[in-house]
Chain A
Amino acid sequence: MSIEVKNVSKKFGTFQALHNVNLKINSGELIALLGPSGSGKTTLLRIIAGLESPDSGQIYFDDRDVTFYPVQARGVGFVFQHYALFRHMTVFDNISFGLRVRPRNKRPSPTEIKERVQELLQLVQLEGLAGRYPSQLSGGQRQRVSLARALAVQPQVLLLDEPFGALDTKVRRELRRWLRRLHDELQITTIFVTHDQEEALELANRIVIMNHGQIEQEGTPEEVYDHPANPFVFDFLGSVNIFRGRVSHGKATLGAIEIHAPEYADRKDSPAVAYVRPHEWVIDRNKTDDTSMEVVIRYAHPVGPTIRLEVERLDEEEILEVELTKERFHELDLSVSQRIFIKPRNIRVFPI
């Protein structure tokens, strides 16, 4: 089922949670709503689910306007960050809840319910745990029960609110991969909210980046990562080094270095920020050209296969982050408090 969000706004008291949001989601997509806390991503998800109602605007499922449909009638599955399992019910009762509360004429027979629950337990790889209570399960298992419970009613749309937020890294990765497979299998339109950019980049077909109740950019993971539309997106996706300077006549001056910025040829001396990702530096022991900066290595932290350097600029007292492979680090025979030259391989300038 496709979803369309049209001009949706929502205020909580004086706080503008959503500001005129428009979004189209195609049937079968796996979408990530990504943003910092307070960006409105969860509110948007809850409005789509029917747990909140928008102050203005509409929600369409296919061509039906569901804005005023009660939550029970929307046919969505929802997974909460903290599972929201029914604590006094067994796994079986939790999963079958949605089937058992149906009106009598639509309710499956007890044997059908049993079969369906078995199927779902198999799907979420929790066979044999039907009789357990939520308290007897690990976090990852609880979240899978909560997913099975949401899927039991065969929803047309699956909504997940920070589904892996409360789990540790390893379980998180496992569940991520598993959700990806599940989506490939079921082809159900899925939206998940996250503040973890890695999760969004790894899992989603399309990422919607939100900030201050508005959509900053939407696109495939490659698009948003490689071509951030604005400083916020650049800053939010991955770590960056930020330079403040000025652009004038197609040139950007950032401290001691000067780079070409032909796209701003018509600007005259306006302030600008430039972004360089830590892995997009070229490192040398000698000065190669004008855009090289001389820096001194303050710290070197090995993080898995890469080395993360904290370097200090000699022209301005500023700390920069530089990332390089272990091989390159040894090749250059680098060590702490050594002077090196770095220049950006890729830099993005945004006037402000």
Chain B
Amino acid sequence: MLFKQNRALPGFGLTLGITLLYLSLIVLIPLSGVLIQTASLSWEQFWETISDSRVVASYQLSFGASFVAAGINVIFGLLIAWVLVRYSFPGKRVIDGLIDLPFALPTAVAGIVLTTLYSPNGWIGSFFDSFGIKVAFTPLGIIIALTFIGLPFVVRTVQPVLEDLDKEMEEAASILGASRWQTFRFVILPPLYPALLTGFSLAFARALGEYGSIVFISGNMPMKTEITPLLIMTKLEQFDYAGATAIALVMLTISFLLLFLINGIQWFSQRHQRSARK
């Protein structure tokens, strides 16, 4: 049989069975609910709902802002992980603890705080306002909120890999004449790619689903600062359940495809890495 293998640790059948049951209960059945609810629409109605210009604008905003926020988190998350791993300084543990705070904070609180700070008369917002830059109630504000909530992902995925890196590799590179930048670019960064990619996809996925903090900072202007999860909520409040699930279905499909793609890249680079591991 295809799956029949003798292993040192038995229990493949049992664990796979529990895994499938669990995933079905937690993930698959709720998600198929989305599909079933949407099925009450005809194809025309479905297409009309999901291709409405206001909805399309929200896709663009949601995916675009999430992508940018995840990108920002990759750069600064790497930097923070680097500082936390490589240097010791007073207050390091406090900073290390701060990283996880966006996980714990209710997102609505984060949204209200960020809105207060970045609104044109807030502490930071007034500073930007003097340059004519509006932060709150614009896509920029959304990006800031999404960056905030996605911060821990990259830091926490990169940190352990960075800790494991062999310092002698860096010494070897510099003895061979590599500048600091070359050492970073060719010796340190490549082993971090898989972790960076994982961090990116986690932050991206988290940002896509974010609702609580965005509704405060975005201002929710149709066509401008309206994110897809908000549109779904609006439809629900109008008892348009099928419309809500239709949009959700589109979002789900695109997210799944994107995450699948990222996982694919991940798998490819991991296979490459595994063969290179000592």
Would A97 and B276 count as touching, CB distance under 8 A?
A: no
CB < 8 Å neighbour of B277 from A72, A83, A135, A153: A135
Complex interface: chain B residues within 8 A of A135 (CB)? 275-278
| Residue A57 at the chain B interface, CB threshold 8 Å | no
CA distance A86 to B168 in the complex (A): 10
Would B191 and A88 count as touching, CB distance under 8 A?
A: yes
Distance of B158 from chain A, by nearest CB (Å) = 16
Complex interface: chain B residues within 8 A of A133 (CB)? 275-276
| Residue A28 at the chain B interface, CB threshold 8 Å | no
Would A86 and B187 count as touching, CB distance under 8 A?
A: yes
CA distance A210 to B155 in the complex (A): 44
If A82-B168, A101-B182, A101-B186 touch, does A87 touch B175 (CB 8 Å cutoff)?
no
If A101-B177, A101-B186 touch, does A84 touch B277 (CB 8 Å cutoff)?
no
Would B174 and A72 count as touching, CB distance under 8 A?
A: yes
What size tier do the contact residues of chain A reach? 20 to 34
**Which of A50, A97, A142 counts the most B-chain CB atoms under 10 A from its CB?**
A97
CA distance A152 to B272 in the complex (A): 26
Interface residues in B, total, Cβ within 8 A:
23
If A51-B171, A133-B275, A134-B278 touch, does A84 touch B166 (CB 8 Å cutoff)?
yes
| Residue A300 at the chain B interface, CB threshold 8 Å | no
CB < 8 Å neighbour of B175 from A49, A82, A85, A89: A49
If A133-B276, A135-B275 touch, does A86 touch B169 (CB 8 Å cutoff)?
yes
| Residue B190 at the chain A interface, CB threshold 8 Å | yes
Interface positions, chain A 146-176, Cβ under 8 Å from B, are: 146, 149-150, 152-153
Distance of B252 from chain A, by nearest CB (Å) = 35
Complex interface: chain B residues within 8 A of A86 (CB)? 169, 172-173, 186-187
| Residue B19 at the chain A interface, CB threshold 8 Å | no
- Residues on A lying within 8 angstroms of B by beta carbon are 49-51, 71-72, 74, 76-78, 80, 82-89, 97-98, 101-102, 133-136, 142, 146, 149-150, 152-153
Closest 9 pairs between A and B when the two form their complex, measured CB to CB: A98-B176, A84-B168, A101-B178, A84-B172, A133-B276, A88-B190, A87-B276, A78-B175, A88-B276
Knowing that A78-B175, A82-B168, A134-B276 are A-B contacts, what are 13 other residue pairs whose CB atoms are under 8 Å apart, sorted by A's residue number?
A: A71-B171, A74-B175, A80-B172, A82-B166, A84-B171, A85-B169, A86-B173, A86-B186, A97-B173, A97-B178, A98-B177, A101-B178, A135-B276
